Amino acid sequence: MRLLVLGGTGFVGGATAAEGVRRGWSVTVFNRGLHGTAPAGVHRLRGDRTAPDGLAALADGEWDVVVDTWDGAPRVAGAAAAALADRAGRYVYLSSGSVYAEPVTPGSDEDAPTVDAAPDADEADYARNKSGAERAVHAVLGDRALLARAGLILGPGEDIGRLPWWLTRIARGGDVLAPGPADLPLQYVDVRDLATFLLESHASGPVNVVSRTGHATMGGLLDAAVAVTGSDARLRWTDPGALLAAGVEPWNDLPIWIPEGHEYRWLQERDVTRAYAAGLTCRPVAETVADTWAWLREVGTVPPRAGRPQRAPAGLDPAREAALLAATGAAPV
């Protein structure tokens, strides 16, 4: 099998290229060569997709699977699809749940309305980039293309730092502010399971590629983090209402956590019937946590996002966490 990854050095692109290599496929990555490193054993092609003749390095060649991880201007995604349309067996565009137009009803499937964005547009915000790129790719390839709407992505290589923040915080030990309830259902996908789906699935059109809601819980994830780090951390489960009243921002201040009833709760409650029917399988949360901790100890710090501005660090700083622990008075578990 011949795989082409447009990108190939970031979080998902790197995992996808690595999975292709693991399978013994012939793997080519195409990017500017400015950020990150491609997995060993791949063929590297260079080019700037935003420049005139930026796709020249792709003028020759045929591939069984093309995976495009682009998150910039929609017109650039459309140009790549047009250039490769006759030389790709399957075409996958890595999209995002961010394409859905708010407000989003929890439990919605892929037919929910998406953000209005033109397929020939220049770069805008992330949601419009992804939504416009979906339309650009579909305009060229129709139902030949899989539009993989990923959700929360965790696992080794994570370049945003949500799970790494929890692991680092718990490894530090002591009383840890744990956002309740412990049995809050989570919905996410391990990057390696996402990569496997992108390479194996013959689905087409939009698909929510993320686990079932409740594949894990907040308590299961944090308990796994305590176990793998071997720390003396004491999880202090705190009522979500008290945290919200104190100005704690779900998702940002306490990564991954979005309480029931919150306006963004839909991010962890999307319908995934299509993905599972198309072959998605998700590994246990304990494996994701353990492998992310092993990777984090090896690399030392969360890598910068390939080709994107660096975000503010995820998670509470220690002083604010201490103040919240004192103010809420939650008992350790």
Looking at residue 34, what is its pLDDT?
Answer: 82
Q: What gap in Å lies between CA 285 and CA 224, rounded to an integer?
A: 8
**Which residues, 6 or more positions from 17, have their beta carbon under 8 angstroms from its beta carbon?**
3, 5, 8, 27, 29, 38, 39, 42
Looking at residue 313, what is its pLDDT?
Answer: 75
DSSP conformation class of 100: B
Looking at residue 333, what is its pLDDT?
Answer: 43
Q: Does residue 238 contact residue 181 with C-beta atoms inside 8 Å?
A: no
Question: What CATH fold (topology level) applies to the domain 159-187+213-270+284-328?
Answer: UDP-galactose 4-epimerase; domain 1 (3.90.25)
Instruction: Please tell me whether residue 221 adopts helix, strand or coil conformation.
Output: helix
Looking at residue 309, what is its pLDDT?
Answer: 59
Q: What gap in Å lies between CA 250 and CA 256, rounded to an integer?
A: 8
Q: CATH for 2-150, among 3.40.1160.10, 1.10.10.10, 3.40.50.720, 3.90.1300.10?
A: 3.40.50.720
Q: What is the phi/psi pair of residue 311, to 5°?
A: -85, 165
% of the chain with per-residue pLDDT over 90:
91
Question: Cα–Cα–Cα angle for 289, 9, 292, nearest 5°?
Answer: 10
Q: What gap in Å lies between CA 95 and CA 162, rounded to an integer?
A: 20
CA atoms within 13 A on the CB side of 238: 26
What is the DSSP secondary-structure string of 172-214? H-SEEEEESPTT-EE--EEHHHHHHHHHH----EEEEESPPTT
Looking at residue 131, what is its pLDDT?
Answer: 98
Give the pTM. 0.96
Is residue 310 pLDDT above 70, yes or no?
no
Confidence of residue 332 (pLDDT cuts 50, 70, 90): very low
Is residue 253 pLDDT above 90, yes or no?
yes
Looking at residue 1, what is its pLDDT?
Answer: 97
Q: What is the phi/psi pair of residue 236, to 5°?
A: -105, 95
Looking at residue 208, what is its pLDDT?
Answer: 98
Tens-place pLDDT, residues 33-50: 887 788 889 999 999 999
Residue 135 CA, chain-centre distance (Å), reads 20
Residue ranges per domain, the chain?
Answer: 2-150, 159-187+213-270+284-328
Q: What gap in Å lies between CA 14 and CA 35, rounded to an integer?
A: 11
Q: 120 vs 55, 70, 132, CA distance in Å?
A: 17, 14, 8
Over range 6-24, report the average pLDDT: 95
Q: Would you say how long the chain is, in residues?
A: 333
Q: Does residue 27 contact residue 21 with C-beta atoms inside 8 Å?
A: yes
Q: What gap in Å lies between CA 167 and CA 292, rounded to an integer?
A: 9
Q: Does residue 216 contact residue 158 with C-beta atoms inside 8 Å?
A: no
